[in-house]
Amino acid sequence: MHEHCFHRDHGSHSVTVNLRRGLHTEIELLVDGKEVGLQRVHGHGPWTVRDALPGDPPRPFTVRVGPEGPSCVLELDGAEWPMSV
């Protein structure tokens, strides 16, 4: 199994994506170190995961995970932020 970890600090929050590729591909999403989602995905990507940063009001975000490299981008507040490995 191949595993890749992507991370981005944004303000006082952090977003982490763990991509596990093997017989099945899984994407684990963590916000501030807590798991908020785990998806088993099919195909070769790209894949999209959505959630929200905590706050009042919560701030929705999207993470795009691409098979190239692989790569990961955080979309938040109308901007795209690359996530580092």
pLDDT tens digits, 41-78: 988 889 999 999 999 999 999 999 998 888 999 999 99
Q: Is the pLDDT of residue 6 over 90?
A: yes
Contact in structure between 56 and 65 (CB atoms under 8 Å) = no
Which two tokens mark 68? Answer: 């190239």
Which residues are within 8 A (CB) of 55 and not within 5 positions of it... i.e. 6 or more apart? none
* CA dihedral over 74, 58, 52, 34, signed as positive or negative: positive
- Domain ranges for the chain, please list them: 2-82
What does the alpha-carbon distance between residue 9 and residue 47 come to, in Å, rounded to a whole number? 21
Question: What does the pLDDT read at residue 1?
Answer: 67
Q: pTM (2 decimals)?
A: 0.92
What does the alpha-carbon distance between residue 75 and residue 77 come to, in Å, rounded to a whole number? 7
